[in-house]
Amino acid sequence: MRPIAVSTEGDEEYEVMIPYFKIYAGGIISISLSPVLGFEGATVREVIGKEVNKSQRNINSVLCERALYLACTESQMSQMPLQERIAQRRGFEATAKSALEAPQELEFLDERLTVYELMHTDQLTLTDIARNLLSVVARAVTLGAVRTRINWFSRQYRDESIGEYWHGKPIIYIRSHTRQKKSSTENWAAHKRLVNSVMARVHLTDVVTHADSARSDMREFDDFNNFYSEAVSLMLSSAQVESFVEQNNSYTFNNLTSDIQVLNEASHFIRIYYAYASLDLDRCKTAIDVARLELEILKFEESLLSAYKYGEIAKYFDEVKRGDHLTTVCKLLRKKVEIVRKALELDEKIASETYTRRTTIIFGIIASATLSPELMQPFAKFYGVNFADEQVGKLVGIGASVVVVVSLLASTHYMFRFFNWITRKIKI
C-alpha cells in the first residue's frame, strides 16, 4: 500500500509510514505499519514513550493519497445503516469536498506526494488506523475490487473480518546505539536496563528495586539479540552487525529485520489461529463438525513440526508456545471442544430418541387404525351408516379410526401439558 503520514499528540511533524499487508490461505490478514525514519538520537525514555508505546498515543491527523482516501471513506460509509447513511449524506459530501479541495504536499524519499487529510481528531489511536485499513483490505478481498465510490442506497455492509481476538504489537529494531559492544552477550549485559524497559514497555530507573525478569534470547549466535514476548519484540544489534553490513554489499540491515519480521508474523499467526478456531467452533452444528475442526487443528500443529528441522526457529516457536496468552487460549479451546462435543452429542441423542418416539407413535396409529374398523362397525350399524361396497366401508372405518386415535393422542398431550402448567404455578 502507498505511504500514509501520521501526526500524534506532542509531535508537530508528520511521521511517514508504509502499510504492509499479508493475506494467508486461511483468510487471515495481517498488517505492519513500518515508519520510514527511525529514532536516531532518542533516549531510552523517548524510545519507550514514542516508539514502544506509540499505539497508546492519540492521533491528531492522518494524511493519505486520494485513492486511499476514497477507499477508506467508502468502506466506512458502507458499514452505516441505510437510513443513517442517507441522513448524513449532505454533511459528509461537504466534508469530503472540503478535504479534497485542500491537498497538501509531502516529501517521500525522492518523490513528492499529494495527500489529503483523512481524519483530524484526537479520539483515535494507531490501533484504530490499523483496524480501519484492515477493514478496507478485507472489503476489497470480499468484493474482488477496491471500491472508491459510495453507493448511498446499498444494503449495510457488515464487517466481520475484525473479531474480538485481533491485536497488534510493536517490534523494535535497534541497529546502533551508544556504548555498543562487539559481543551480543556483553552488549546485553551492558544495556540490560534498555532491554528490560522495552520488554516491560515502561521506562525503568537505574536503580532496580525488583528482581530482573527472565529474558530469553532467541538468537543462537553472538552477533545480535532477539527478544520475544507476546506484548513486544526487540532486536538489539551488537557492533558486529554494522561491520558485517558494511563489508557485504549484498546484505543489508533490512534483510535482518525482514527475517525477524517473518518470525514475529509466524508467531502472530499461531496465536490468531487458535483464537479464531474458537470462533469456528461456535459454528459447528453436529459432533462431526467438531471432529473435522479438531482434525484441522491437528493438521495445523503437525505442519509446525517442520520448523523443528531448524534449531533456532524451533527454539523461537517453543518460546511462542510457552506464552501465557497462547497457553490460556489453547486450554480454553480444548475445554470448549469437549463441552461443545458433549452438548451436540446430547442434542443428537435427544433428537434421535424423539425421532424414534415419533416413529413408534406413527406405527402405533397405523396399527390402531387397522384394528379399529372392527370396533367401528357396531357404531356404524347403530347409527344406520351402511355402504353398498364392503371395501369402501372398511376404508371409511380406517379413516374414522385414524381421526379418533389422533384426536385422543392430541388431547392426552395437551392434558399433560395443562397439568404440568398447573403444577408449576402451584410451586411458584
pLDDT tens track for 232-257:
999 999 999 988 888 888 888 888 88
pLDDT value of residue 65 = 93
Q: Which residues contact 277 (CB under 8 A, 6 or more apart)?
A: 293, 296, 297, 333
Looking at the DSSP bridge assignments, the partners of residue 124 are 59
- Binned at pLDDT 50, 70 and 90, residue 370 comes out as low
Fill in the DSSP letter of residue 388. Answer: S
Q: Which grid coordinates are listed for 136?
A: 478496507
Q: What distance lies between CA 161 and its chain's CA centroid?
A: 7
The model carries a pTM of 0.76
pLDDT value of residue 362 = 64
pLDDT value of residue 207 = 54
On the CB side of 125, CA atoms within 13 Å amount to: 8
Adjacency order of strands within the sheet including 224-228 = 171-174, 233-237, 224-228
d(CA 348, CA 389): 48
Q: Residue range 84-113: average pLDDT? A: 88
DSSP string, 169-194: --EEEE---TT--SSHHHHHHHTHHH
Q: Residue range 245-270: average pLDDT? A: 87
Does 383 have pLDDT greater than 70? Answer: no
d(CA 151, CA 78): 8
d(CA 396, CA 198): 89
Q: Which residues contact 320 (CB under 8 A, 6 or more apart)?
A: 228, 267, 270, 271, 326
Q: Which grid coordinates are listed for 260?
A: 525477524
d(CA 78, CA 82): 9
Query: Do the beta carbons of residue 220 and residue 312 sit within 8 Å?
Result: yes
Q: Which grid coordinates are listed for 140?
A: 476489497
Q: Residue range 76-91: average pLDDT? A: 89
The amino acid at residue 307 is: A
d(CA 35, CA 285): 45
- Binned at pLDDT 50, 70 and 90, residue 70 comes out as very high
Higher-confidence residue: 302 or 415?
302
Q: Which residues contact 266 (CB under 8 A, 6 or more apart)?
A: 317
Higher-confidence residue: 348 or 73?
73
Mean of per-residue pLDDT scores for the chain: 83
Does 368 have pLDDT greater than 70? Answer: no
Higher-confidence residue: 99 or 409?
99
Q: Cβ–Cβ contacts within 10 Å for residue 108, how many?
A: 14
- Binned at pLDDT 50, 70 and 90, residue 18 comes out as very high
Q: Which residues contact 55 (CB under 8 A, 6 or more apart)?
A: 125, 126, 127, 168, 170
Q: Which residues contact 283 (CB under 8 A, 6 or more apart)?
A: 289
DSSP string, 38-67: --TT--HHHIIIIIITGGGSEEEEEEE-HH
